[in-house]
């Protein structure tokens, strides 16, 4: 069974631009969550989608948005990029939302904003 | 208050020895889950082990076991027979509740484990 796939692996953008990251969950998984990892703030929850609906959202500005498609694939968008958005963005999938099933993470997308 | 506390920024262990990575948590929700993840330098987060708050037995997965002490709110990871490939960052994480939308994990700051040959 293929794992969680995130594309692209690396991305370099300039301030003010926008970016879209993609995540394909493990087959059969319906929940997709996004996390931001930085040296200063560690791992922080961005949002979770389940059956195309946002179920939960972390404490991030509205520039961070996401969506989920009917095949459970998810995209995350960051608009008006700031230097502080440079981070590793991790996507995780699980069978259900809020159940006991563990989250399985992808390899991440490393975003650098210059 | 921090939801997850990992007090060991770095740990060293001799190859083939056992090592314990500490984790304490803080929650008032009676239903919660505790996870350990391994993050090698490549960046991927690898799921290691899970313990539910209602589980009576300590979780074990191969060389990994979770020493769950509910009254002390601790969930330490024990790695037996350490291997060079175990060198990585290890994160403890907690999910509060089992209701829909409770898929946000609270992570600790991590412990960097180095296995010495």
> Which SS3 state, helix, strand or coil, does residue B84 take?
helix
Chain A closest CA to B113's CA: distance in Å? 17
Interface of B with A in 72-111 (CB under 8 A): 91, 93, 95, 97-110
Q: What is the 8-class DSSP label of residue B110?
A: -
pLDDT at position A1 over 90: no
Region of A48 please: left (phi>0), alpha (psi -120 to 50) or beta: beta
Chain B closest CA to A92's CA: distance in Å? 9
Decide if B44 and A105 are in contact by the 8 Å CB cutoff.
Answer: yes
Decide if B101 and A90 are in contact by the 8 Å CB cutoff.
Answer: no
**What is the token pair recorded at B24?**
């304490």
pLDDT tens track for A69-108: 999 999 999 999 999 999 999 999 998 766 577 889 999 9
What b/e string do you get for A54-71 counting C-beta neighbours within 10 Å, with b at 16 or more?
A: ebbbeebeeebbbbbeee
pLDDT at position B100 over 70: no
pLDDT tens track for A2-58: 799 999 999 999 999 999 999 999 999 999 999 999 999 999 999 999 989 998 899
Per-residue confidence (pLDDT) for residue A99, from 0 to 100: 58
Q: What is the CB neighbour count within 10 angstroms for residue B116?
A: 11
Per-residue confidence (pLDDT) for residue B104, from 0 to 100: 85
Over chain B, what is the mean pLDDT?
Answer: 93
C-alpha A46/C-alpha A59 separation (Å) is 7
Kindly write down the DSSP assignment for every residue of B86-103, as one continuous string.
G-EEEEEEEEE-SSTT--
pLDDT tens track for B30-77: 999 999 999 999 888 999 999 999 998 999 999 999 999 999 999 999
Q: What is the 8-class DSSP label of residue B30?
A: S
C-alpha A23/C-alpha A74 separation (Å) is 5
């Amino acid at each position: 069974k293929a794992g969680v796939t995130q594309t692209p692996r690396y991305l370099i953008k300039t301030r003010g631009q926008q970016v879209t990251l993609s995540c394909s969950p493990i087959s059969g998984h319906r929940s997709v969550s996004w996390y931001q990892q930085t040296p200063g703030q560690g791992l922080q929850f961005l949002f979770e989608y389940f059956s195309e609906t946002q179920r939960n959202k972390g404490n991030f500005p509205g520039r961070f948005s996401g969506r989920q498609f009917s095949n459970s694939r998810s995209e995350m968008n960051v608009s008006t990029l700031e230097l502080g958005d440079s981070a590793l963005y991790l996507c995780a999938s699980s069978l259900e939302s809020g159940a006991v099933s563990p989250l399985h993470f992808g390899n991440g997308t490393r975003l650098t904003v210059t | 208050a921090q939801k997850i506390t990992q007090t060991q920024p770095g740990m060293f262990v001799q190859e083939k020895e056992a090592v314990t990575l500490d984790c304490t948590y803080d929650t008032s929700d009676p239903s919660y889950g505790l996870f350990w993840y391994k993050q090698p330098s490549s960046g991927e987060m690898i799921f290691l082990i899970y313990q539910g708050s209602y589980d009576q037995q300590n979780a074990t997965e191969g060389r990994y076991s979770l020493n769950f002490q509910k009254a002390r709110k601790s969930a330490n990871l024990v790695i037996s027979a350490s291997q060079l490939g175990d060198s990585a960052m290890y994160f403890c994480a907690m999910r509060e509740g089992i209701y829909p939308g409770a898929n946000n994990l609270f992570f600790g700051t991590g412990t960097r484990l180095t296995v010495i040959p």
